[in-house]
């Protein structure tokens, strides 16, 4: 790959399977890991010929059968620190050639001039029938290589070679934050595009079958789940779930779907919560295509559910984007934010606050404050009665 002087450009390659994900850390080739696990690709970061800044040598016959495409990415080192992006880069191209080939056998691809991007997927080799072909891409991320890597399934925290290589200028926490931001932007854009269809479904009083066609689109195209991860009409122990969403072969979310616009009630999730209790899935989503209400299921003694959030696509969409992102495929892959939110909501719920207020330690503290501020002794029973009265209002 050729490029500009004065800007440090790194290149890397992602070996992707049929689902556009890497299989393991050996499928990511970059300056700190210059060869893939199968030794089919070798990165030379200093070819020394004056024309190319970095070169990949590829042995097509050694590429593992599970690899269906290889995406080549350029990124700017320390882009944020130096306020650089590919708008500052000119005359960048990919040259594809055979060893010792004549010039007429060389393919050159020049991407469209980028603006704010700091990482760009320049092109890809892809398996077509029994042979390999190349096509140019040119799409990228403003937030850098880290977010692009996450979109291909790179889990930075589980890849010590990658984490070590980027540790000077980045952290795995920053990688995750960048990917989350990109994910929220994607969700907002495509939810806005599908909103007219949702409004029409409500106006036409669409049945559950029509509603689910739009839900399928929302789950896969907007929230990012793969087709095989969106399971329908799943049964266990005689109970049925409208949908079960999975991530990497792990069931993470039960969905109870009602027809578009049908008023939602807590009772609608009874069956889904029963399914959750038997399956061990923590979260249940109730939706009528307009509203998305998430519950966390607790099964310590009895099956209970606590509402975590509610998103109304037809009203206050902006306020719900972060919540939708939490139940997207990326959000459920990095579920720490959802777990923290759930703990906070449950801890501050009326039932839990009521229990805490009636705790003897809290009552004694109130008694102490009353004594200090009003110089008056009151009985614990009097304080308890007052709290119970306030809670019943």
- Provide the CATH number for the domain around residue 89: 2.60.60.30
In a domain, 278, yes or no: yes
In a domain, 177, yes or no: no
Residue 108: pLDDT over 80: no
Instruction: State the maximum Cα–Cα separation within the chain, in Å, rounded to a whole number.
Output: 99
Q: Which two tokens stand for residue 314?
A: 């037809």
Predicted TM-score of the model (pTM): 0.56
Co-location of 263 and 320 in the same domain: yes
Distance from CA of residue 48 to its chain's centroid? Answer: 40
Sheet strands side by side (includes 28-29): 28-29, 9-16, 69-76, 119-128, 131-141
How far apart CA 95 and CA 110 sit, in angstroms, is: 9
| More confident site: 57 or 114 | 57
Co-location of 161 and 280 in the same domain: no
Residue 109: pLDDT over 80: no
How far apart CA 286 and CA 289 sit, in angstroms, is: 9
What CATH code is carried by the domain that includes residue 316? 3.90.1570
Average pLDDT, the chain: 82
Coil, helix or strand for 302?
coil
Co-location of 153 and 199 in the same domain: no
Residue 226: pLDDT over 50: yes
Among the three residues 170, 204, 226, which one is the final residue of a domain in this structure?
170
The pLDDT, as a whole number, for residue 311 is 93
Co-location of 164 and 243 in the same domain: no
| Total tally of structural domains belonging to the chain | 3
Helices (H), 268-359: 270-279, 317-326, 329-333, 336-347, 350-357
Local confidence band at 179 (pLDDT 50, 70, 90 cut-offs): low
The average pLDDT across 153-180 equals 51
| More confident site: 267 or 295 | 295
In a domain, 91, yes or no: yes
Co-location of 339 and 359 in the same domain: no
Co-location of 109 and 237 in the same domain: no
The average pLDDT across 1-12 equals 67
Among the three residues 170, 198, 227, which one is the final residue of a domain in this structure?
170
The pLDDT, as a whole number, for residue 141 is 72
Co-location of 21 and 163 in the same domain: yes
Local confidence band at 106 (pLDDT 50, 70, 90 cut-offs): low
Residue-number span of the structural domain to which 87 is assigned? 9-170
The pLDDT, as a whole number, for residue 115 is 67
How far apart CA 342 and CA 223 sit, in angstroms, is: 20
The average pLDDT across 154-158 equals 54
The pLDDT, as a whole number, for residue 215 is 94
In a domain, 4, yes or no: no
Residue 110: pLDDT over 60: yes
Co-location of 257 and 374 in the same domain: no
Co-location of 331 and 230 in the same domain: yes
In a domain, 208, yes or no: yes
Local confidence band at 92 (pLDDT 50, 70, 90 cut-offs): confident
Co-location of 152 and 233 in the same domain: no
Co-location of 355 and 339 in the same domain: no
Evaluate whether 387 touches 357 at the Cβ level (below 8 Å). Answer: yes
C-alpha distances (whole Å) from 362 to each of 150, 178, 365, 370, 381 are 46, 42, 5, 12, 13
Co-location of 13 and 157 in the same domain: yes
Evaluate whether 346 touches 352 at the Cβ level (below 8 Å). Answer: yes
Among 95-99, 113-117, 315-319, the range scoring the smallest mean pLDDT is: 113-117
Residue 230: pLDDT over 90: yes
On the 0-12 / 13-18 / 19+ scale of CB atoms within 10 A, 217 is middle
pLDDT digits (tens, 9 = 90+) for 321-348: 999 999 999 888 877 788 888 899 889 8
Give percent of the chain with pLDDT exceeding 70: 84
In a domain, 155, yes or no: yes
Local confidence band at 278 (pLDDT 50, 70, 90 cut-offs): confident
Residues 6+ apart with CB under 8 A from 265: none
The most confident of 115-124, 144-153, 308-317, by mean pLDDT: 308-317
Evaluate whether 182 touches 141 at the Cβ level (below 8 Å). Answer: yes
The most confident of 69-73, 106-110, 136-140, 345-349, by mean pLDDT: 69-73
The pLDDT, as a whole number, for residue 117 is 78
């Amino acid at each position: 790959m050729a490029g500009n002087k004065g800007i440090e450009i790194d290149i890397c390659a992602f070996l992707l399977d049929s689902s556009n994900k890497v299989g393991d850390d050996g499928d990511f080739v970059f300056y700190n890991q210059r060869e893939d696990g199968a030794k089919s690709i070798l990165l030379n970061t200093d070819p020394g010929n004056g024309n190319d800044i970095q070169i990949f040598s590829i042995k097509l016959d050694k590429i593992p059968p599970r690899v269906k495409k290889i995406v080549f990415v350029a990124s700017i080192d320390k882009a944020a620190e130096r306020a650089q992006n590919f708008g500052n880069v000119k005359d960048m191209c990919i040259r594809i050639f055979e060893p010792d080939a004549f010039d007429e056998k060389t393919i050159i691809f020049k991407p469209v001039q980028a603006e704010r991007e700091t990482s760009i997927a320049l092109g890809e080799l892809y398996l077509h029938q029994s042979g390999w072909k190349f096509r140019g891409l040119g799409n990228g991320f403003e937030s850098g290589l880290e977010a692009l890597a996450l979109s291909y399934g790179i889990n930075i925290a589980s890849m010590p070679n990658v984490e070590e290589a980027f540790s000077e200028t980045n952290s795995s926490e920053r990688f995750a934050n960048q990917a989350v931001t990109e994910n929220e932007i994607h969700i907002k854009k495509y939810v806005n595009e599908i909103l007219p269809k949702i409004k029409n479904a409500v106006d036409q009083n669409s049945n559950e079958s029509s509603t689910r066609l739009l839900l399928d689109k929302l789950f896969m195209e907007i929230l990012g789940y793969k087709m095989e991860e969106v399971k329908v009409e799943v049964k266990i122990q005689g109970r049925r779930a409208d949908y079960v969403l999975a991530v990497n072969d792990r069931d993470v979310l039960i969905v109870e779907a009602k027809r578009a616009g049908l008023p939602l009630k807590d009772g609608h999730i009874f069956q889904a919560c029963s399914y959750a209790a038997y399956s061990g899935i923590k979260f249940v989503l109730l939706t009528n295509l307009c509203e998305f209400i998430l519950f966390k299921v607790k099964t310590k003694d009895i099956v209970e559910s606590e509402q975590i959030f509610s998103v109304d696509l037809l009203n206050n969409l902006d306020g719900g984007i972060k919540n939708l992102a939490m139940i997207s495929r990326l959000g459920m892959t990095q579920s720490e934010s959802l777990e923290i939110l759930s703990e906070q909501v449950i801890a501050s719920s009326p039932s839990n606050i009521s229990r805490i207020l009636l705790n003897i330690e809290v009552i004694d503290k109130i008694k102490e404050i009353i004594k200090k501020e009003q110089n008056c002794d009151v009985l614990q029973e009097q304080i308890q009665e007052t709290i119970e009265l306030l809670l019943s209002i």
